[in-house]
Every structure is written in C-alpha cells, then in structure tokens.
Structure 1
Amino acid sequence: MNEPKYERLPHAGDFENKHDTEAFYLSPMPLPTGAAPFNGLQMHREVNDVYLDFGQGTSSFEFMVRAAVGSIMFMVIFFCISGLALGIHEYVEYGFSPFRVFLNFILPNYYLWGFIAILMIMYGVPLYQTIHQITSNTPVRFNRQRREVVYVREKGKPPLIVPWEEVIACVTAGTLVTQYAVMSSYSLMIGLRDSNSGEVVWLTLATGHPSLAISEWEALRVYMEQGPDALPTPVLIDEEFQEGTVAYFHMCRGVYREMHSWPVYAFGFLTIQFCSGWTLPCRFSQWINTRPKAAFPESIREWSKPLPAEQHAQPSAELVQESAEVNLALSQGQSLMDYYKVKFSEPQNTTDAEKSEV
C-alpha cells in the first residue's frame, strides 16, 4: 500500500491489486459511499460537536487471552496424557511404577518446559505490545470544525496533522491462511500522509465483510461533513453484560446449557472453557479497560477547542461538486462502483474514439 501503482496519490475510486490483495480507495476526496454509517467495532472513544476520537478498543482482549491460555493448556494436557500413556506402557511391559515414570517424564523434561516457555513468550509479547499500544498511544482525532485529522506520534516528533480531504482510506480484500482453513479477509485502512516526508501512517481495522468496512468509513465521513447528529444512535447495552465481561460469560454458559444436552455441555463448554482460563480472561480484559490511557499533549488540546462559527473550515468546491454528482448517481439506483466505472471509462472512451478517427 505504500507503493501505489499510480504516479500520484490515490483518489476515491482508484482500484489496486497487489500481492493477492485488492484495494478499493474511498478517499482522498471523501465522497459519499451510499452505505449506512455504522460503528460495529466500537472505535468511537469520544464524540462531540468539535471532534471524534477514533481508536482501537479492548473488546478483543478476552478472546486473545483465552486463545493464549487455551493453547498453552492444550500443550500441557497433551504432554501429561503422553506421560501417563508412557507410564502405563512401562508398567505393562516392565512392571515399572506408572506414577514414577509419569513424574520422570514431566518434571525434569527441560525440552518440554522450554517449549511451553517459548509458547508463553510467543503469546505474551504480542499481547503486551497491544496493551502498551492502547494504553500509551492516543486515538486519532477527527476535528470537524478545522476539517483536520491529528495523529500523535512518539515522543520527540510533532503531531501529524492532515487535512480531512487528504486522508487516504481504502477497503482491502485478501486471503488469510490459518491452521484451520483458507479464509477471505477484509479490512478498512486509513492512511495519514506527512506531506513533508511522504511517510504514511496506517490504521488497519479488520472487518468480517467489505460492506462493514465501508460503513465504518461512512460513519467517519458523515460525522466530518454533517456532525454528530448524523451518526447512528448507539445501541445501549448494560455494561455488566457487554461481551468480554464475567456476567456475559455466565449468561453464555446458561444459554449453552439450555440448548445442549449434558454430555455436549460438559465436553463442549465446561472442558474447553475451563482449560482456557474460565473467567480469568474476562477479568483480565476488564482490568485493561480500567488502565489509564495516554493523554493528548497541550498543543492538541488547544487545537481541539471550539472555534467561532465564522472560523469553521469549509469543504472545497471540488468536494462539493463531486459529492453532488455521486449523490445524484446513488439516487438513480447506481452503486458507488457503478459511478466510478462510468466516470473512469469516459476518458478511455474518448481516447479510443480519437484513435479510430486517426
């Protein structure tokens, strides 16, 4: 994505296919998409009439911790069962004490515990980095009165402030290979380009479908163009029963028990959840949610103060004109892709006609 095939910066409607990943650009020049604005990833930290803070949430921590604990416990249980099987074999073949063989296989096995330690490091380091990133980095702030977006870089570097109409956004579609299957993967990528160095800071949000990625971007776009009243009303859920909490875990346990028989419940839920930490991942996720987050520097807090109405930045004439064209096409039943196909085919058709005349 840092080396687009175009000899210019990408523009809304550009299409790119590179390294088996397809990208469809929604901005620069953030035009209407025709999608309903939606914030399914709960990325909006704070919203008011001046700015919107957009940053990674902590709802996924419970799953991350559960996956790590479950993987480690699976290996421990696997080796314990292997040691027990070896002890039974030695008892049957040679009459040795199975308990002694089991202990000799487990306790002084430095290779086994070294492997477990490596596995813990492999899961622990990315988890720590994610926690550190969320707690030490400020979110990206969209200031609709100034029509600018700010990203606070590491200490020693000034904040990166990018005009709203120059923010890069694209929806990507690719293939993700896991230990389970080969799956399609989709994401929304938001790029903030430093006009001085050419460096682009990317914020990547994984989504389950390209339409969800477009809706996430549309929520940002309508906020910047129309204000917070244009955002969809968030669904209010009791915090106690939000996904990742202990109460939510026990609610799911009760639902699973009602829908399945006792054997399925015992081996399909109790065993798996017990081996993956039971409620420990939920409590850890809630603890991360209570950690203090990084604050914006004084210069950005000053930059975020409300401006008088006469000082509000206005959209460019180009954006106003092209937005009207897109809205007209959408009202006539065209999709965003249809609009760009027609638009980008016109110069090509003209060129072909000139060539035929020659």
Structure 2
Amino acid sequence: MGDSKYNRLPHAGDFENKNGTEAFYLSPKPLPTGAAPFTGLQMHREVNDVYLDFAQGVRGLEFAVRASLGSIIFMAIFFAVVNVVLAYSTFSYGWPFWSTLFKFIQNPLMWGFLIVLMIMAGVPLYRSIHQKTSTPPIRFNRQRREVVYVREKGQPPLIVPWEEVIACVTAGTLVTQYAVMSSYSLMIGLRDSNSGEVLWLTLSTGHPSLALSEWEALRVYMEQGPDALPTPLLIDQEFQEDTVAYFHMCRGVYREMHAWPVYAFGFLTIQFCSGWTLPCRFSQWINTRPKAAFPESIREWSKPLPAEQHAQPSAAL
C-alpha cells in the first residue's frame, strides 16, 4: 500500500483507492474497531499470557493435492485402457493377450511421461509447503508490546513496536476463469525502520467483517490479554473447508441435489480418482504441523517479564 495520498505513513482511519483496490487502515495506532473479535481460520497457533503466535496455513492445499492426484490417476487409467484395447486387438491375430499386455505396460515412454507429470505436479506443491512450514509464525509479545518476524537465514529478526504495526482491510475484484468476484483481505504490515521496507502478510477472507474480526482478535489480545479472546468460531474446525467432515457434507448435498447417475459419475467417480478423502487428511496434517522453531534470541525475548517491566500503551494511543 502506498503513502502518496498523505505524504506520510498511514494512520488508523485513513482510506485509499489505488488501482481499483480500496484500503481502510486500522493501524497505526491500533484503535478499537467495534467488530466482534474471533478467528475461524486456525491462525492462532499458540496463545499464552506472554505471546500469541499468528501463522497462516497452506491455503488451497487440499485442492492442489486433489488436482495433482486426479491428473496423474486419470493419465494412468487412460494408459491402462489403451493398453488393454491394444492387447485385445492383437489377440485376434493370435498373439497371447496377457504377455502382450505385460509388454505394453513396460513401455518406458509411458512411465517416463507419468514420472514427468508427477514431478511437474509435486515440485510446486513441495515448494509451497516448504515455504509456509520452514518459517516461524509472527509472534505478538503483549508484555513487551512488540511484534517479531523471523526473516531468512542470515538476516536479523524484524522487531516492530505493536503501535507501529500497519493493518488495513482491502476490497477489490478478482478475475477468474469462471467470473469476476469481490475479493477481501486483511493486510498486516511490519515496517523495518532502518530500511523503510514493509513486509506484508495478506489474509484473504470472504467478507470485510471477517477481516475486521481477525484483526480485532489480535488487538484485544495485545491490549487485554488471552482472556479477552472468544471461543473459536468453529469448534475443532470440524466443518471448515478442506476437512474430511466438510468433504462428506458436500457429498451429502450433491447426492440430495442430483440423480443417482449424475451423483455416481459426477461426484463418486471424480472424487475417487482424485484421492477421495486423502487430500483432506494430508492438508489437515500439513496445516497442523509445528512451524519452524524460533532462534535463541527470540526465545529469550519471549520469556515472561516482571510486572513492573511490562510495556505500557503510549500517551498517543
């Protein structure tokens, strides 16, 4: 987000419209928004009286795994059918069916194509998972009233005063192959006072009120403590997208809305060939894995402080 409109860093209450994207700033300074605080996206990894760890999961992982599995299994089934047809066609000329089929299956070009397809699907998926899981979460330390982000190896951690954290809710349009739809997100910016560079964390949400509530949960934690955080919106995240329960709920809805032939070939066959519930389980497993550990300096920084050493809100706030 730019600062051309105000010729200064943004403040809470500022509004910008840049390149078709509207942005309303919530911080700095982090003023109350009036929204109900909650998080429904498993963003709070660890919460105690000293700090809160805030981290995104790998969004869209279940779909990415399902699409990758589906393309590989589809091509494997296609090659299997072609081999059976070819073996059967040679059977009429007196060739033994099973030995001919076995020779066709050993075709190195077919296996080479499948291996290349696996690599093309697996490498981007691995890179996305590694990028998200190899970086520690953003840690909000309420006793020090500071926020830390651990950058790449060789770079010192970025520690930003809580009242200087930039946050805004954005609204724009997203063009896909299906339609033009509204897009909302919560953006959290951590500014390096030495270089002026701002590191942005973008959290996509379905509605601006959800983005406000995600930010408000962070704000009330920093100002009031963990007791101010409400119970998670979805108990155990049971029916959240990408979960096994959500998959079976969608299956039930599809079965009720379509005839049996459509359900059998339009859902059961496609989902079976794309892994059934395996992508959901894999996505849940990855998104619940512990993030990378913090360096020793940040573990020391995260230790509790005596009450007289707790940082206090500024006079401006």
Decide whether the 8 Å contact of 1:2 with 1:200 is kept in 2: no
Amino acid at match of 2:40: G
Given that 1:61 and 1:285 are in contact with CA atoms closer than 8 Å, whether structure 2 keeps it comes out as yes
Quickly say closer, same or farther: Cα 1:148–1:230, change in 2 above 3 A. same
TM-score by length of 2: 0.81
Of 215, 218, 232, 2:230 maps to 232
Counterpart of 1:154 in structure 2 is: 152
SS of the counterpart of 2:316?
helix
Contact preservation (8 Å) 1:135, 1:293: yes
- 1:195 counterpart residue number: 193
What letter is aligned with 1:55? A
Q: 1:19 to 1:69 in 2, by over 3 A?
A: farther
Q: Which residue of 2 aligns with 1:167?
A: 165
- Provide the rounded CA distance (Å) in 2 between the counterparts of 1:3 and 1:239: 38
Cα gap change, 1:124 to 1:186, in 2 (>3 Å) = farther
Distance 1:219 1:240, change over 3 A: closer
**1:181 shift after superposition:** 1.0
Q: CA deviation at 1:235?
A: 5.0
**AA in 1 matched with 2:66:** R
Taking the TM superposition and a 5 Å limit, the aligned residue runs for 1:41-80 are: 41-58=41-58, 60-70=60-70
The root-mean-square deviation of aligned C-alpha atoms, in Å, is 3.4
Amino acid across the alignment from 2:61: F
Whichever residue aligns with residue 147 of structure 1, its letter is R
Distance 2:236 2:17 in 1: 43
CA-CA distance at 1:202 after TM superposition: 0.7
CA shift, 1:246, in A, is 4.5
- Give deviations 1:136-169, integer Å, cap 9, x for gaps: 1000000011100000011111110000000000
Structure 1: any 5+ residue segments left out of the alignment? 92-99, 320-358
Classify the secondary structure of the residue corresponding to 1:318. Answer: coil
CA distance in 1, matches of 2:200, 2:134: 17
What is the TM-score with the length of structure 1 in the denominator? 0.72
Could you say which residue in structure 2 is the equivalent of 1:353? none
Name the larger-Rg structure.
Answer: 1
Cα 1:212–1:72 change in 2 (3 A) is farther
What's the counterpart of residue 94 of structure 2? none
User: What CA distance in whole angstroms lies between the structure 2 residues aligned with 1:174 and 1:242?
Assistant: 24
Q: CA deviation at 1:59?
A: 6.6
1:212-231 to structure 2, matched below 5 A, reads 212-231=210-229
- State the secondary structure of the residue aligned to 1:277: coil
Change in 2 beyond 3 A, CA 1:71/1:202? farther
- Identity across matched positions, percent: 83
1:245 Cα deviation after fit: 4.6
SS across alignment from 2:156: coil
Partners of 2:63 and 2:161 in 1: how far apart?
A: 36
User: Structure 1 residues 79 and 277 mapped into 2: Cα distance closer, same or farther (>3 Å)?
Assistant: same
Matched, 1:29 2:11: no
Give the one of 270, 273, 276 matched to 2:274: 276
The letter of the residue matching 2:148 is: V
Aligned pairs for 1:237-276 (under 5 A) are: 237=235, 244-246=242-244, 249-250=247-248, 252-253=250-251, 256-257=254-255, 260-276=258-274
Correspondence 1:78-227 to 2 at 5 A:
123-227=121-225
Q: Show structure 2 runs of 5+ residues with no match.
A: 90-99
Equivalents in 2 of 1:218, 1:194: separation in Å? 23
Distance 1:176 1:119, change over 3 A: farther
Report the Cα distance in structure 2 between the residues aligned to 1:228 and 1:138, rounded to whole angstroms. Answer: 21
Between stretches 15-24 and 63-72, larger displacement belongs to: 63-72
Cα distance in 1 for partners of 2:156, 2:38 equals 32
Secondary structure of the residue aligned to 2:39 is: coil
The structure with more helix, counted as a fraction of residues: 1
The verdict on how the C-alpha distance between 1:246 and 1:214 changes in structure 2, with shifts beyond 3 A counting, is closer
Instruction: State the alpha-carbon separation in 2 of the partners of residues 13 and 119 from structure 1.
Output: 50
Count of residue pairs the alignment pairs up: 301
Give the direction of change, closer, same or farther, for the CA distance of 1:236–1:20 in structure 2 (3 Å limit): closer
Aligned residue number for residue 10 of structure 2: 10
- Distance in 2 (CA, whole Å) between partners of 1:17 and 1:70 is 41
1:39 match: 39
Deviations 1:63-90 (A, max 9, x none): 3312333456667889999x89xx9xxx
State whether residues 150 and 160 of structure 1, in contact with CA within 8 Å, keep that contact through their aligned partners in structure 2: yes
The whole-number CA distance in structure 2 between the counterparts of 1:39 and 1:179 is 30
Query: Does the 8 Å CA contact 2:187/2:200 hold for their aligned counterparts?
Result: yes
